[in-house]
Structure 1
């Protein structure tokens, strides 16, 4: 059954998994989508290379190229995989990933810890607001606890002692980059810099609402644009998507 999967949503943190569920549920009405999860222990060293190797083990079992989707650090993982295994990636959709793909909410957290001489709790409170935009004190406290736990299981290459920078390498697969106009972690100005690296079939999409986890708050709007991107590629494997949407003509344009 798993060999029928044509789309993989990448997850690398068990505490952030819930924020992908609304859009994954929406997309599942139109495509055969699965969630690939990578979990490391709190004491395990961070290694994107290990995650790439394990992801390749899974995709190799599918015996066909797939659409990859990832947000933030998961988008970075998708980029690195597509660069290394271009023949196994039908398309790549990344959300909240700027022109420096290593920039994520973890690096922002350590930037705050380094430059602001205040308690960890105050830094987490500011981070929670930057990520989700809630003023409600109850939600703030809940998100602070969640982010505190998520830090221990992050695949991000950053730490309190070092923050890494990355560079863009063009990938052969069709690429869609999604960002939010209100994202304070990866600003829209940073997202706009992707334009110098796009191929003719690539898409840069702006969500006008919500913060870094914009796809959680706008699953239908963002999901519709992702589906349109897949249909625009015009390959036969996306015909079923068009039929489900009642837009077969688009797949042939």
Structure 2
């Protein structure tokens, strides 16, 4: 496996279609591979189970990889990088808070327990907040994608994973956190929580007007920022071609 290999951690295969454009753009400069995980409906699964499987996969390659993950996948990738730093060259997280409970599934479960609305109504409303309002057809599909995740895939707080996930801190390797500025799951103090744990050379970027799945409709900007970061690992990075008006920028170092 080449040194500049990106491994996209995918614990929710149903939602991979939302990451696909960014992965395709990154593949112009890097070898991009996808590590997907899915289990049987009646199979018990924990973060440790995922870590053991991922560790086995990465021990078969010759060089550390650049890990990328969105949402719960990014959370699990961060915990893995902290646990097995020799296997990870850099870490990029999209739509991830240091508070590990801030995921769309936990938000859904909270709404479901407090509202008398149907599952379909809640998912339709939640989708309107999480996804960009791109077109009518897409708005019809998004709730169905989330419903499939709830039924079949790895989710914190689901019947598959009742165990509490530890809150996050930046691991030893270079780390990029890329969040949406209009993500309802991440409160205004999210960047301050990350700033307290990020190291010199790490980066935190906020996509202007970005919602939880901002990579779906802002793929060019997302791919550009990730590429610029990885190309400068190890060390600090700053790419003059990045349009600073597209981001809220926080740097530590």
- TM bucket (normalised to shorter chain) is 0.7 to 0.9
**Which residue in 1 is equivalent to 2:37?**
38
SS of the residue corresponding to residue 101 of structure 1 reads: coil
**Which residue in 1 is equivalent to 2:206?**
206
Question: Contact (CA 8 Å) 2:69, 2:92: kept in 1 or not?
Answer: yes
The answer to whether residue 46 in structure 2 is matched with residue 51 in structure 1 is: no
Normalised by the length of structure 2, the TM-score is: 0.85
1:164 is displaced (CA, Å) by: 4.0
The answer to whether residue 204 in structure 2 is matched with residue 216 in structure 1 is: no
- Structure 2 CA distance, aligned partners of 1:191 and 1:120? 32
1:90 is displaced (CA, Å) by: 0.4
Distance 1:103 1:95, change over 3 A: same
The answer to whether residue 238 in structure 2 is matched with residue 233 in structure 1 is: no
**Which residue in 1 is equivalent to 2:244?**
none
The superposition leaves residues 63-88 of structure 1 with CA deviations (integer Å, 9 ceiling, x where unpaired) of 21110000001101111110110111
1:166 is displaced (CA, Å) by: 3.1
Distance 1:52 1:72, change over 3 A: same
Higher mean Cα deviation, 27-36 or 99-108?
99-108
**Which residue in 2 is equivalent to 1:62?**
61
Instruction: Please show how residues 53-132 of structure 1 align to structure 2 within 5 Å.
Output: 53-132=52-131
SS of the residue corresponding to residue 206 of structure 1 reads: strand
Normalised by the length of structure 1, the TM-score is: 0.85
Higher mean Cα deviation, 208-217 or 127-136?
127-136
**Which residue in 1 is equivalent to 2:146?**
147
SS of the residue corresponding to residue 15 of structure 1 reads: helix
- Structure 2 CA distance, aligned partners of 1:198 and 1:117? 41
1:163 is displaced (CA, Å) by: 8.5
- Structure 2 CA distance, aligned partners of 1:87 and 1:60? 10
SS of the residue corresponding to residue 143 of structure 1 reads: helix
1:189 is displaced (CA, Å) by: 2.8
RMSD: 2.3
Which has a greater percent of helix? 1
- Structure 1 CA distance, aligned partners of 2:49 and 2:215? 27
Distance 1:214 1:111, change over 3 A: same
Distance 1:57 1:157, change over 3 A: same
- Structure 2 CA distance, aligned partners of 1:134 and 1:163? 34
Question: Contact (CA 8 Å) 2:133, 2:139: kept in 1 or not?
Answer: yes
1:138 is displaced (CA, Å) by: 4.2
Distance 1:231 1:25, change over 3 A: same
The superposition leaves residues 166-204 of structure 1 with CA deviations (integer Å, 9 ceiling, x where unpaired) of 323441111110100011122343233200111001000
**Which residue in 2 is equivalent to 1:250?**
none
1:234 is displaced (CA, Å) by: 4.2
* Consecutive unaligned residues in structure 2, runs of 5 or more: 240-253
Aligned residue-pair number: 235
- Structure 1 CA distance, aligned partners of 2:83 and 2:163? 23
The superposition leaves residues 15-56 of structure 1 with CA deviations (integer Å, 9 ceiling, x where unpaired) of 111111000000000011111111112222232111111111
Higher mean Cα deviation, 199-208 or 34-43?
34-43
